[in-house]
A and B are shown apart, each in its own frame.
Chain A
Amino acid sequence: DIQMTQSPSSLSASVGDRVTITCRASQSISSYLNWYQQKPGKAPKVLIYAASSLQSGVPSRISGSGSGTDFTLTISSLQPEDFATYYCQQSYSTPHTFGQGTKLEIK
């Protein structure tokens, strides 16, 4: 199975900050990497697919990059609604494993 490792596990930031979350795969997954946002008590919501493609309706302050084994999710200017937990997920091969999550909290 492909292991997905996110860092950091948690992050404190302020509104307006630029934040970056990283995700590393245990083997090359090309660009088969998706990012999801989850708020407490809610189902996850896709933000980015194919490593860097923005899902329709997702604000442009959110972006993704990377290929192979190393990926990043960047939020250019944090808004109050961005405080949530973020997960990366590989869709290169089954099982479609998730990272352990990064909890983004208000400083």
Chain B
Amino acid sequence: QVQLVQSGAEVKKPGASVKVSCKASGYTFTRYFMHWVRQAPGQGLEWMGIINPSGGSTTYAQKLQGRVTMTRDTSTNTVYMELSSLRSEDTAVYYCARDVRITVADSYYYYMDVWGKGTTVTVSS
């Protein structure tokens, strides 16, 4: 079955970087884009960006441009999200989610069909 297994919780100091991994299984890794979404404590969902595991191309939320880097390793079917210059506002649960593209009435539509369990990142001095 399709699974996304994320790395464990992290505690970081302000100014540091964190790298979260998301290992995919149960499907052809390079055929599906991958999103990253985060959720601060008690808050809503925030879209961070998307990576194409086939070619490695990325699109990031403008708010995070310059601090976020998404990469992939096709030999291990793993995507990574690295966030630098961490600040307290980056404390959140970080999710990876597979992007599925489906045809409805001759148009392509996109949504996130499988999610990882989330990785808690705490930024604290």
* Chain A residues near B (Cβ < 8 Å): 1, 30-32, 34, 36, 38, 43-46, 49-50, 53, 55, 87, 89, 91, 94-101
Contact = CB atoms under 8 A, between A and B. Distances in A.
B115 A32 contact: no
Given A34-B112, A44-B112, A96-B47, 11 more contacts: A1-B62, A36-B45, A44-B37, A44-B95, A49-B109, A49-B111, A87-B45, A89-B112, A96-B110, A98-B44, A98-B47
Contacts of B50: 94, 96
A99 B111 CA distance: 15
A45 B96 CA distance: 13
Interface of B: 35, 37, 44-47, 49-50, 59, 61-62, 95, 97, 102, 104, 107, 109-113, 115-118
Contacts of B47: 89, 94-98
B69 to A, nearest CB: 16
Contacts of B95: 43-44
Contact of A99 (B44, B113, B117): B44
B59 A50 contact: no
Contacts of A30: 107
